[in-house]
């Protein structure tokens, strides 16, 4: 008998899973609330494990850039430590989503629309790949249904021109954080984080104005990216998932941000989503019990969730 799998969410986790599930064995449907969102977004840093999965399904974009050095600076630009060796590979998020969509076999049914109640989906297994606002998470663990706010706001952008080598890296301290990295095609990716009382939905101009004032005494490179940033800058309030004790219950399972949305400091959120999806597909294709999958993925991803929060606190606390 073919098992029917409903995947709620056609983002990085949901598309990776659909690309790797055995089409001879499973009838797969992806439900995506906002298919048009896949064309938006800035850049993502991808580490080795996630790249290996993407390479296997032909979804690692060609247009990537491997960072090989940089420095950690105080927020005013004084160098704290030089960083050598290969960093993550930077990819354009829309390019990655398009490559993942291409890797999904034609047998997978794509439904555009929000799933308001996953409990009524007609499927043998319901996979919550529905991000930090997950509706499936509460069906796995009722106490973990709600996402958790933080007081942080992130700004992200891509600008023309490679950064000067001595500008590359992160800038930490005084309640603020900024990163500047080179990207393919002579571009730079930058991001900032600061504490803010602004509430969503954001006016990008208001968040930019606040950031320019908060970072006024930061390094010249940081001030330059903020001064040049336009209204296409992404302004995001950072939310995280609550701690979870299990990722699977009955016919429900959660992966990616739905299971462990974390602060972005380790650059591990999308990477973990990709590895969750690949390992879940492997277990399902082999007909294995989901408890084995959970025993491998839950500790690693919950540690990353805690580690990201600890790194954020450290970065902002530097005087
Ligand atoms: C500032 C910032 C920087 C980051 N940088 C990095 C980085 O460098 N490296 C890295 O690995 N990660 C990074 N991340 C994290 C990364 O963006 C996320 O971990 C990743 O997008 C999670 O993918 P996902 O598929 O689990 O969830 P999402 O990307 O949130 O996708 C969920 C999908 O489900 C859909 N959906 C939600 N609810 C429903 C519903 N009820 N019905 C139907 N569809 C639904 C949504 O529309 C969406 O398409 C960063 C995050 C932030 C905020």
* Residue having the nearest C-alpha atom to atom 51 of ligand 1: 264
- pLDDT value of residue 92: 95
* pLDDT bracket for residue 186 (50, 70, 90): very high
**Whether residue 33 has its Cβ less than 6 Å from ligand 1:** yes
The minimum-distance atom of ligand 1 relative to the CA of 41 is: 17
Strands (E), 161-223: 169-173, 176-183, 187-195
**Domain assignment present for 96:** yes
Q: In this structure, what CATH number is given to the domain that contains residue 287?
A: 3.50.50.60
* Residue 194 resides in a domain: no
Domain that holds residue 303: 3-41+92-147+241-317
Work out which ligand 1 atom sits closest to the CA atom of 269.
19
Q: 74 in a domain, yes or no?
A: no
- pLDDT for residue 1: 47
Q: Is residue 156, in this structure, part of any structural domain at all?
A: no
Q: Where are the beta strands (DSSP E) in the chain?
A: 3-8, 26-32, 43-46, 65-66, 69-74, 79-84, 89-92, 109-112, 125-128, 148-160, 169-173, 176-183, 187-195, 234-240, 248-249, 252-254
**Ligand 1 near 266 CB (within 6 A):** no
Q: 268: part of which helix (H) or strand (E)?
A: none
Q: How far is CA 130 from the centre of its chain?
A: 12
Q: Is residue 174 part of a domain?
A: no
pLDDT tens digits, one per residue of 66-79: 888 899 999 999 99
C-alpha distances in Å from residue 309, one per residue of 6, 16, 87, 191, 261: 32, 26, 20, 17, 11
**38 CA: nearest ligand 1 atom:** 49
Judge whether residue 214 has pLDDT over 80.
yes
CA of 216 to the centre of ligand 1 (A): 31
Instruction: Decide if 159 is inside a domain.
Output: no
Question: Within a domain: residue 217?
Answer: no
Q: Is 32 in the pocket of ligand 1 (CB under 6 A)?
A: yes
In a domain, 262, yes or no: yes
**Each residue's pLDDT tens digit, 75-130:** 999 999 998 888 899 999 999 999 999 999 999 999 999 999 999 999 999 999 99
C-beta separation of 126 from 118 below 8 A: yes
- How many domains does the chain fold into? 1
> Which phi and psi (to 5°) does residue 285 adopt?
-60, -30
Task: Tell me what the pLDDT averaged over the chain comes to.
Answer: 96
What is the H or E stretch that residue 309 is in? helix 290-317
pLDDT at 2: 61
Give the number of other Cβ atoms within 10 Å of residue 133's Cβ: 15
């Amino acid at each position: 008998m073919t098992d029917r799998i409903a995947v709620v969410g056609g983002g990085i986790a949901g598309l990776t899973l659909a690309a790797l599930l055995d089409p001879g064995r499973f009838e797969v449907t992806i439900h995506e609330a906002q298919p048009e969102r896949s064309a938006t977004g800035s850049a993502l840093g991808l580490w080795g494990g996630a790249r290996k999965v993407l390479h296997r399904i032909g979804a690692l974009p060609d247009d990537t850039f491997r960072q090989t050095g940089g420095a950690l600076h105080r927020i005013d630009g004084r160098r704290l430590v030089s960083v050598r060796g290969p960093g993550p590979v930077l990819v354009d998020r829309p390019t990655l989503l398009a490559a993942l969509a291409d890797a999904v076999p034609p047998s997978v049914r794509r439904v555009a629309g929000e799933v308001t109640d996953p409990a009524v989906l007609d499927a043998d297994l319901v996979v919550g790949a529905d991000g930090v606002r997950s509706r499936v998470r509460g069906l796995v663990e009722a106490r973990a249904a709600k996402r958790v706010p933080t007081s942080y706001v992130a700004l992200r952008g891509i600008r023309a021109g490679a950064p000067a080598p001595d500008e590359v890296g992160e800038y930490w301290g005084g309640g603020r954080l900024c990163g500047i990295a080179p990207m393919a095609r002579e571009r730079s990716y930058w991001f900032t984080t600061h504490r803010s009382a602004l509430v969503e939905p954001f006016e990008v101009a208001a968040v930019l104005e606040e950031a320019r004032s908060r970072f006024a005494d930061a390094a010249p490179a940081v001030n330059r990216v903020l001064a040049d940033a336009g209204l296409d800058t992404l302004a995001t309030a950072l939310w995280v998932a609550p701690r979870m004790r299990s990722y699977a219950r009955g016919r429900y399972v959660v992966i990616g941000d739905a299971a462990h949305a974390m602060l972005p400091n380790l650059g591990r959120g999308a990477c973990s989503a990709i590895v969750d999806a690949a390992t879940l597909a492997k277990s399902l294709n082999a007909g294995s019990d989901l408890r084995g999958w959970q025993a491998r993925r839950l500790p690693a991803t919950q540690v990353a969730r805690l580690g990201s929060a600890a790194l954020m606190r450290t970065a902002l606390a530097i005087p």
